[in-house]
Amino acid sequence: MDAQITKSSQKEVNLSVTNPDIGMLYVVQHELLKEKNIDFAGLIVKHPLTNECWMRVNSSKGNPLKEIINATNSAIESVKELKKLFNSKIKIK
């Protein structure tokens, strides 16, 4: 996965993500939308054949890029907890 900032301002960040894991991006979007500072967090698949997604994040108060980083870290922690739960319930041979 490769992410590039296509547009950035004090209250908005647009990202282009190539070779994305769409499920992971939806988890990050969900984490962003839980934040009070986030007005909008949108994600679209540009076209199925281009293997590219666009993400836009608008923030009324905070730095939107910092909010994306925080949401990503929160998503990573959530997945770690889920992995622990699965491993405790299922014995992998």
pLDDT tens digits, 35-74: 888 999 999 999 888 899 999 999 988 899 999 999 999 9
Q: Is the pLDDT of residue 26 over 90?
A: yes
Q: How many CB atoms lie within 10 A of CB 10?
A: 9
| pLDDT tens figures, 6-21 | 999 999 999 999 999 8
75 phi and psi angles, rounded to 5 deg:
-65, -40
Give the highest mean pLDDT range of 56-60, 76-80, 84-88.
Answer: 56-60
Count: domains in the chain? 1
Residue-range definition of the domain harbouring residue 13? 2-89
Between 32 and 93, residue with greater pLDDT: 32
Instruction: Say which CATH number the domain at 45 has.
Output: 3.30.1360.10
